[in-house]
Amino acid sequence: MSTAQSLKSVDYEVFGRVQGVCFRMYTEDEARKIGVVGWVKNTSKGTVTGQVQGPEDKVNSMLECSGLI
């Protein structure tokens, strides 16, 4: 019998100097490596917003490596 793993979805917005420094590209690359899905985009306010989804442990890893937690 397999153990079901909890899924997690997190919406985020990053403030500060995050546009023009490859933050979005870095986030996409790390998400692929870790094995989570979602989206990320620049906003007209100069921030980056996104969503990350997947198994709870992988989402937490993604948030940590991106400096979001």
Sheet holding 48-55, edge to edge: 7-14, 48-55, 37-42
Residue 6's closest CA among 52, 62, 54, 66?
54
Of these residues, 17, 24, 32, 60, which one is catalytic? Answer: 24
42 is catalytic: yes
**In this structure, what token pair is assigned to residue 14?**
């990053």
24 is catalytic: yes
Of these residues, 17, 32, 42, 60, which one is catalytic? Answer: 42
Please give the positions annotated as active site.
24, 42
